[in-house]
Amino acid sequence: MESNNKKTRGTLAIDLGSTTTVVAFQAENNSSINMLAFDHITRAPGEIPSLIWKSETEKPHYLFGQEAKHSHQLQSISGNLISDFKRWIGAPNNIIPKGFALPPKEAGELFIKEIWKKLPNELEIKKLVLSAPVETYKEYRKWLHSVFTNLHVQEIALVDEPTAAAIGAGQPGGSKILVIDIGGSTIDMSMVIIEGGEGQAEPIAQLIRFNGQDLEGTSKQIKRGAKVLAKAGLRIGGRDFDRWILDHKFKDLEQTDYYLDAAEKLKCKLSNSELSDSQKLTEDIIVNLPHKEELRKLSLSKPEFEHLLEKKGLFKSLTILLEQTLAQGRAKGYELEDLSGVVLVGGGSRIPVLQKWLKKNVGEQKLLTPPPIEAVVKGALKLTPGVIIRDILNKGVALRFWDQKSNQHLWHTLFLAGQPWPTLKPLELIICCSKSNQLEIELKIADIEKNGIQEVIYENGIPTIQNLDNSNSIKQQTNPWQKKSLIIQLNPPGIMGEDCLKLRFTIDELCQLNVQAIDLRTKSKLFKKILGVIN
């Protein structure tokens, strides 16, 4: 067996993507970053198609990445190819589409562990750094923690994708950045302040494991972090552009990966900035008809492709996302002019008309275009060993109380949408009794949500952006939590109008709402409980 002193020790970074997963390694005391290639599964150094092929045998076997794509194309069994699973990891169960041959979390775990198995023997992974989407950060982190629980690596850290992209674009600590990530399945916009600058400590990534010890939920590390000022997202991405192309040209064809891959190749060719408007590009596809095979030509010009994106509402949707993000930032005192750069990443960032739209809306001088595929993973390596991300709430949370003037229950807001979490200090409320000899106080919690946000629905497998016309009519809605209310027993019984309890509310690193109760009459601490996750 090869001894450890002959191995190259260092940090592995994995950026699991919807269409492409990127893997890189950085040796200790070495500034260079190596994009790793693996036999059979990589398309190019560091780039693995996010695909799994599952056999239909009684005891199924699996192929991954480029090998899965090749096997699928040879056998043309669309039901056995599992793709687009990253999009749905951490998403609410009720919006995950049916028909996956494997549940998205299970597919993602298989995929990551296959990468781990294929690591070269000469590498010793001392640190592992992973990226997580900002939209589903807390749920995604829980999933990643469970995936890597049994792996033999001393240190595991996590960084959100927009922050990693900003660092990967070469932005220093203290920078205020708008990150626009046009990925395979989502478009995310995030305004962030990178910690550091002016003598302050630079950011590091959020530790999940350190020195072999599991820190999830118990970490005491100093909270130096990249602060998310604003964010907005839409579940539309590059793979959906492929669906639009295929549906536009051949509505009679099933949206299988074979046809979508041809549409993707055509899209990539159309993304060549030197292509003239008069040129029409073509990809050949073979269609299996009942009694024969038919060769068809998938053809588009650049103006036709751009018109299709406009017709589908993409640019109108991007405008709404940008307005939402900038409005959130403006509410915290930051204008577009205050930003040091706008970082554009993700495979879709190569499309010239999207770059043109951004230059028009944010200014050409602010636009930064690092290598779109590698930016996140390289930024993640620079952030090792880890920064905690102070994220912002997508929805508010409120406490029910009895209003004696109106003689009815009303809601008191505890935390507002757009507020950072984890909280740095508790929110304190003083509770008094509404009647004499009161024996208990009930704590009931509700979400405060805003309606009018854009939504993506699927009609015959084709993604369609909805609610664009209502984007400016945002209303507030209170949705009580379905779980059982927390009952606080009063001993001695309360007296009407007397200050009885002090409640200290906080939001922890898992976005869980915590409450501590103190009896003001006896000066005793009653309990500290988790009320639930702010979804």
Domain with 247, as residue range(s), is 238-311
Last residue of a domain, one of 281, 311, 341: 311
Among 43-52, 209-218, 273-282, 513-522, which is the least confidently predicted range? 209-218
Residue count (the chain): 535
Domains: count for the chain: 3
pLDDT over threshold 60, residue 103: yes
pLDDT at 519 (0 to 100) = 93
- pLDDT-based confidence at residue 474 (cuts at 50, 70, 90): very low
Query: Which pLDDT value is given to residue 197?
Result: 55
Whether 435 is in a domain gets the answer yes
Distances from the Cα of 48 to the Cα of 20, 37, 38, 80, 140, angstroms? 6, 9, 9, 18, 20
Residue 149 and residue 24 share a domain: yes
15-24, 63-72, 359-368, 501-510: least confident range: 63-72
Q: Burial-class residue 494 by CB neighbours within 10 Å (0-12, 13-18, 19+).
A: buried
- The confidence score (pLDDT) of residue 12 equals 92
Asked whether residue 60 falls in the same domain as residue 8, the answer is yes
Residues 405, 528, single domain; the answer is yes
pLDDT digits (tens, 9 = 90+) for 109-149: 999 999 999 999 999 998 888 888 766 777 888 888 888 87
Per-residue pLDDT at 410: 86
Does 472 score more than 50 pLDDT?
A: no
**Residue 105 reports pLDDT greater than 80:** yes
Task: Tell me what the pLDDT averaged over the chain comes to.
Answer: 82
Residue 68 has pLDDT above 80, yes or no: yes
In a domain, 409, yes or no: yes
The 3-state DSSP class for residue 460 equals coil
Instruction: Say if residue 144 is in the same domain as residue 279.
Output: no
Using left for φ > 0, alpha for ψ between -120 and 50, and beta otherwise, residue 511 falls in left
| Tens of pLDDT, residues 406-432 | 778 888 889 887 777 888 788 899 988
pLDDT-based confidence at residue 65 (cuts at 50, 70, 90): very high
**Rg of the chain, C-alpha, whole Å:** 26
pLDDT at 135: 64
Task: Classify residue 357: in a domain, yes or no.
Answer: no
* Nearest alpha-carbon partner for 181 in 393, 300, 346: 346
pLDDT of residue 220: 45
Q: Is residue 360 part of a domain?
A: no
- Judged by average pLDDT, the poorest of 199-203, 407-411, 440-444 is 199-203
Residue 42 has pLDDT above 90, yes or no: yes
Shared domain check, 118 and 28: yes
Comparing 300-304, 311-315, 434-438, 456-460, the range with the smallest average pLDDT is: 456-460
Residues 9 and 124 in one domain: yes
Quick check: is 329 in a domain? no
Tell me which of 67-76, 319-328, 395-404 is least confident: 67-76
Query: Based on the domain organization, do 211 and 270 belong to the same domain?
Result: no
Query: Is 202 exposed, middle or buried, given 0-12, 13-18 or 19+ CB atoms closer than 10 A?
Result: middle
Inform me whether the pLDDT recorded for 201 exceeds 50: no
Residue 244 belongs to a domain with what CATH number? Answer: 3.90.640.10
Angle at alpha carbon of residue 98, lines to 92 and 101, rounded to 5°: 110
Yes or no: say if 214 and 192 are a contact pair by the CB < 8 Å rule: no
Instruction: Of 41-45, 80-84, 132-136, give the range with the top mean pLDDT.
Output: 41-45
Q: How far apart are the first and last CA of the chain?
A: 48
Buried b (16+ CB within 10 A) or exposed e, 324-339: bbbebbeeeebebeeb
> Cβ contacts of residue 281 below 8 Å, gap of 6+?
266, 269, 270, 275, 299, 300, 301
| Pair 239, 255: CB distance under 8 Å | no
CATH number of the structural domain spanning residue 131: 3.30.420.40
- CATH number, residue 471: 2.60.34.10
Does residue 490 register a pLDDT over 50? yes
Identity of residue 180: I
Residues 6+ apart with CB under 8 A from 330: none
- Please tell me what DSSP assigns to residue 271: T
* The domain boundary residue, chosen from 294, 311, 328: 311
Which distant-in-sequence residues (6+ apart) come within 8 Å of 363 by Cβ? 336, 342
Task: Give the residue with greater pLDDT, 246 vs 228.
Answer: 246
Can you tell me which residue has the tokens 């040091």?
340
211 and 300 both lie in a single domain = no
Statement to judge: residues 155 and 254 lie in one domain: no
Which pLDDT does position 145 carry in this prediction? 83
d(CA 109, CA 92): 18
Q: Are residues 163 and 249 in the same domain?
A: no
Phi, psi of 19, deg, nearest 5: -115, -30
Place 467 in a pLDDT band, splitting at 50, 70 and 90. Answer: low
Write the burial class of residue 143 (CB in 10 Å: 0-12 exposed, 13-18 middle, 19+ buried).
middle
Strand 8-15 with 123-132, pairing: parallel
Domain end marker among 255, 282, 311? 311
Residue 322 lies in a domain: no
Q: Do 288 and 417 belong to one domain?
A: no
Centroid of chain to Cα 452 = 21
Q: Is residue 431 domain-shared with residue 509, that is, in the same domain? A: yes
373, part of any domain:
no
Residue type, 465: I
Residue 470 pLDDT grade (very low, low, confident, very high; cuts 50, 70, 90): very low
DSSP structural state of residue 291? S
Asked whether the predicted pLDDT for residue 322 surpasses 90, the reply is yes
Mean pLDDT across the stretch 428-437?
Answer: 87
320 in a structural domain: no
Tell me if residue 211 falls in helix, strand or coil.
coil
Distance CA 56, CA 84 (A): 20
20-27 and 8-15 beta bridge pairing: antiparallel
* CB-CB contact of 185 with 237 (8 Å): yes
Burial state string for 91-118 with b = 16 or more CB within 10 A and e = fewer than 16 = beeeeeeeeebbebbebbbbbbebbbeb
